[in-house]
């Protein structure tokens, strides 16, 4: 039995109207929750100085990138525990790039006047970078990543030095070692830039908002997430000199 085709035209979809639920005039705004996101900064009436918008923008966006970086490292670690090195490497590259981005945007803070920043500093309370949820997450996930790497290395019967010397035989593990070294370096570079920004704005012989001397911040630069990977470079050079 033949079915008659409808002679009525199919109504065209109105792409100007949102179809997602939530607040916002468009699906872009609703998906990204821009109403909430852009309301997280102080309003001009609440600001003690107009540079509070700059200050909050840098720090709030940094927290987002740190959240992503920590998530990528955590998932990469899960991949390594099931011996999936390739997807882990891809996520670790992302994580390191997150650190590069937040390091670069610290340049914005140096556009503030050291004197005018003092006005902002008075309304920060005891706020300190040591309380950053993003940085705490980075510190939380990094040791597990190191343990997962070393488990794979030990399973292959390799010391770190042997892994580098015989890198062509164990390319995936070599690349993994370098990815951890890159992650470690990016964290250190970010810490260094943060220290220099603080020193440039408030000085390096003063006490921070949480009662911590700025010089202590500088001392943390020497700390590594994976010191054994850095020590291996010294051993490699020593072995080469002996030969």
Q: Are 156 and 173 in contact (CB under 8 A)?
A: yes
Regions in the chain scoring below 50 on pLDDT: none
Assess if residue 104 is contained within a domain. Answer: yes
Residue 173 in 3-state DSSP?
helix
For 103, the token pair is 């390091």
d(CA 122, CA 209): 9
Which has the closest alpha carbon to 46: 123, 121, 109, 100? Answer: 123
Assess if residue 95 is contained within a domain. Answer: yes
Evaluated on CA atoms 62, 65, 68, 69, the torsion sign reads negative
Residue-wise pLDDT for 94-123, tens only, equals 999 999 999 999 999 999 999 999 999 999
Residue 22 in 3-state DSSP?
coil
Q: Is 221 exposed, middle or buried (0-12, 13-18, 19+ CB in 10 A)?
A: middle
Backbone angles phi, psi at 33, to 5 degrees: 55, 45
- What is the reported pLDDT for 11? 67
DSSP 8-class letter at 213: B
Assess if residue 16 is contained within a domain. Answer: no
Assess if residue 13 is contained within a domain. Answer: no
Assess if residue 213 is contained within a domain. Answer: yes
- What is the reported pLDDT for 160? 97
Assess if residue 155 is contained within a domain. Answer: yes
CATH code, domain carrying 198: 1.20.58.480
Q: Count of CB atoms within 10 A of residue 233's CB?
A: 13
Which residue shows structure tokens 């939380």? 140
Q: Are 91 and 175 in contact (CB under 8 A)?
A: no
For 42, the token pair is 């102080």
Assess if residue 9 is contained within a domain. Answer: no
Helix or strand (DSSP H, E) at 49: none
Exposure of 46 in the CB half-sphere (CA atoms within 13 A): 9
Count of structural domains, the chain: 1
- What is the reported pLDDT for 15? 83
Assess if residue 39 is contained within a domain. Answer: no
Residue-wise pLDDT for 79-97, tens only, equals 999 999 999 999 999 999 9
Domain span holding position 127: 49-242
- What is the reported pLDDT for 167? 87
- What is the reported pLDDT for 235? 96
CA 78 to chain centre: 18
């Amino acid at each position: 039995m033949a079915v008659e085709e409808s002679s009525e035209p199919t109504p065209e979809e109105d792409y100007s109207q949102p179809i997602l639920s939530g607040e916002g005039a468009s699906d872009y705004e609703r998906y990204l929750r821009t109403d909430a996101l852009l309301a997280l900064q102080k309003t001009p009436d609440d600001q003690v100085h107009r540079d509070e918008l700059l200050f909050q923008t840098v720090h709030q966006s940094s927290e987002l990138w740190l959240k992503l970086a920590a998530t990528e490292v955590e998932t990469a670690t899960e991949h390594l525990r099931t011996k999936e090195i390739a997807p882990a490497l891809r996520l670790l590259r992302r994580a390191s790039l997150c650190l590069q981005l937040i390091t670069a945007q610290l340049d914005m803070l140096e556009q503030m006047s050291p004197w005018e920043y003092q006005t902002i500093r008075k309304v920060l309370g005891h706020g300190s970078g040591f309380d950053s949820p993003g940085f705490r997450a980075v510190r939380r996930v990094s040791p597990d990543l190191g343990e997962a790497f070393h488990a794979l290395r030990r399973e292959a019967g390799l010391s770190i030095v042997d892994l580098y010397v015989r890198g062509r035989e164990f390319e995936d593990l070599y690349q993994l070692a370098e990815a951890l070294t890159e992650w470690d370096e990016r964290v250190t570079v970010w810490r260094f830039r943060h220290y220099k920004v603080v020193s440039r704005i408030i000085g390096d012989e003063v006490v921070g908002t949480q009662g911590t001397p700025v010089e202590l911040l500088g001392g943390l630069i020497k700390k590594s997430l994976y010191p054994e990977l850095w020590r291996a470079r010294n051993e490699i050079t020593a072995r080469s000199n002996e030969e």
